[in-house]
């Protein structure tokens, strides 16, 4: 691991590059047999997150197989609510479940601010271990959930389709929801700054459920808090700004608002055309995306032509980072991922004259 690949950082700094960098959301995960083996060895998913050496191992697994241009910290967005005492468990077939929920003013008042050098120290240990092991091979992405997305899990107590409880709280008692979001904003800012201090070179905010909000409520309950976080990010140890990226799933129609968030990059799901997104955000913002992860079930020839479609949709230019429109799913054959990554390497140089 001696080669130094800073392609993604150079794109985020606005420099010219010779091809499109590529990585995948959830690139370390259950579609890889070696991930399943390490997860088994760890015991539970949270035990894997809490063990810096094993978290580092699974972070590096996809990089050994594929020519990826970034590593992403192996952890989860739900570490913050867990550290606030809600008691997180991942139940097979059901996903994340919390022992406690947050549904009243008293519940919000009772939530402690998690300490980055105590309850969340295991995350920073993982960042330090991974960064040192990567040794410059590719940049390391740190991440957090957005306050709104974390709040939906904390209010519901689990994954949800309708967000019945979270929306009732937001619409009926907005001041309580805002108090929760403000607490989370402080915690997420501290969390990302601690990851930066530990060596994260890019930070990404996952706003998986921002797109569930009505148009008028998206800025109020989600975007404004993310802006606040971006404004509160520290520089790295050399005094350089650490690029920030926002991903609101289902947020393509709000890019004209997101472009002024202060983030250098915006992630897109597959419902938005990169060409129209580029017109909305202008040439100063990097766009990341947006192959439908479902496309990875198709055969390698189809994957190749769909990569071509995404690249030509963005067009000529240096401000695109290739990714999926959401995380890769456990059923994807690993050789289909090779076809995807190889196609980006093969086709994208033609878009960088």
Among 8, 9, 17, 28, binds ligand CP3 (CB under 6 A): 28
Classify 265 as helix, strand or coil.
strand
Among 143, 148, 322, 340, binds ligand CP3 (CB under 6 A): 143
**Nearer to ligand CP3 (CB atom), residue 30 or residue 318:** 30
Among 20, 185, 187, 208, binds ligand CP3 (CB under 6 A): 208
Binding flag, residue 206, ligand CP3 (CB under 6 A): yes
Q: Which residue has the tokens 């995948």?
A: 24
The question of whether 39 is a catalytic residue gets the answer yes
Which positions from 303 to 332 touch ligand CP3 by CB under 6 A, shown as an x/- string?
Answer: ------------------------x-----
Catalytic one of 30, 36, 65, 128: 30
Which positions from 44 to 73 touch ligand CP3 by CB under 6 A, shown as an x/- string?
Answer: -x--------------------------x-
Among 9, 17, 25, 291, binds ligand CP3 (CB under 6 A): 25
The question of whether 26 is a catalytic residue gets the answer yes
Euclidean distance between CA atoms 284 and 258, whole angstroms: 13
Catalytic one of 6, 19, 31, 76: 76
Catalytic one of 6, 19, 35, 39: 39
- Residue 240 is encoded by which pair of tokens? 């350089």
**Nearer to ligand CP3 (CB atom), residue 219 or residue 327:** 327
Residue, CB closest to ligand CP3: 208
Binding flag, residue 267, ligand CP3 (CB under 6 A): no
**Nearer to ligand CP3 (CB atom), residue 200 or residue 347:** 200
Among 19, 39, 131, 336, binds ligand CP3 (CB under 6 A): 39
The question of whether 153 is a catalytic residue gets the answer yes
Helical pair 147-156 and 224-231, crossing angle rounded to 10 deg = 120
Partners of residue 88 on adjacent β-strands: 98
Euclidean distance between CA atoms 111 and 116, whole angstroms: 15
- Number of shown-chain residues binding ligand CP3 (CB under 6 A): 21
The question of whether 76 is a catalytic residue gets the answer yes
Among 4, 18, 135, 159, binds ligand CP3 (CB under 6 A): 159
Catalytic one of 31, 153, 191, 218: 153
For residue 290, say if its preceding peptide bond is cis, omega within 30 degrees of 0.
Answer: yes
**Nearer to ligand CP3 (CB atom), residue 72 or residue 347:** 72
Q: What's the length of the chain?
A: 353
Q: CB of residue 16 vs ligand CP3: minimum separation in angstroms? A: 28
Cβ pair 317, 15 in contact under 8 A: no
Instruction: Write down the H helix ranges in 7-81.
Output: 7-12, 33-42, 45-50, 52-65, 79-81
Among 14, 33, 87, 95, binds ligand CP3 (CB under 6 A): 95
Q: CB of residue 153 vs ligand CP3: minimum separation in angstroms? A: 7
Classify 145 as helix, strand or coil.
strand
Interaction residues for ligand CP3, span 69-88 (CB under 6 A): 72, 74, 76-78
**Nearer to ligand CP3 (CB atom), residue 72 or residue 343:** 72
Tell me the catalytic residues: 26, 30, 39, 76, 153
Binding site for ligand CP3 (CB under 6 A): 25-30, 39, 45, 72, 74, 76-78, 90, 95-96, 143, 159, 206, 208, 327
């Amino acid at each position: 691991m001696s080669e130094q690949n800073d392609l993604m950082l150079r794109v985020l700094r606005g420099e010219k590059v010779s091809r499109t960098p590529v990585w995948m959301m959830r690139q370390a995960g259950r579609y890889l047999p070696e991930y399943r083996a390490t997860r088994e060895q760890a015991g539970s998913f949270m035990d894997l997150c809490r063990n810096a050496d094993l978290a580092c191992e699974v972070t590096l697994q996809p990089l050994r197989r594929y020519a990826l241009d970034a590593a992403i910290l192996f952890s989860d967005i739900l570490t913050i609510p867990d550290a606030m005492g809600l008691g997180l468990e991942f139940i097979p077939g059901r996903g994340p479940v919390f022992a406690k929920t947050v549904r009243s003013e008293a519940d919000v008042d009772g939530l402690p601010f998690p300490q980055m050098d105590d309850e969340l120290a295991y995350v920073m240990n993982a960042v330090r271990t991974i960064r040192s092991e990567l040794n410059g091979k590719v940049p390391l992405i740190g991440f957090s959930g957005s306050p709104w997305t974390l709040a939906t899990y904390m209010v519901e107590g689990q994954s949800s389709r309708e967000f019945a409880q979270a929306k009732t709280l937001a619409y009926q008692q907005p001041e309580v929801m805002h108090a929760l979001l403000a607490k989370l904003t402080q915690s997420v800012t501290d969390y990302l700054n601690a990851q930066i201090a530990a060596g994260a070179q890019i930070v990404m905010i996952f706003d998986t459920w921002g797109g569930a909000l009505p148009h008028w409520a998206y800025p109020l309950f989600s975007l404004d808090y993310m802006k606040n976080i971006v404004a509160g990010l520290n520089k790295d140890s050399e005094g350089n700004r650490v690029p920030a990226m926002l991903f609101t799933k289902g947020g393509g129609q709000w890019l004209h608002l997101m472009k002024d968030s202060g983030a250098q990059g915006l992630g897109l799901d597959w419902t938005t055309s990169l060409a129209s997104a580029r017109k909305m955000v202008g040439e100063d913002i990097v766009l990341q995306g947006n192959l439908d992860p479902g496309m990875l079930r198709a055969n390698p020839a189809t994957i190749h032509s769909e990569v071509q479609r995404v690249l030509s949709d963005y067009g000529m230019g240096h401000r695109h980072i290739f990714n999926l429109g959401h995380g890769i799913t456990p059923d994807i054959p690993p050789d289909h991922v090779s076809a995807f990554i190889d196609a980006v390497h093969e086709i994208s140089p033609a878009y960088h004259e």
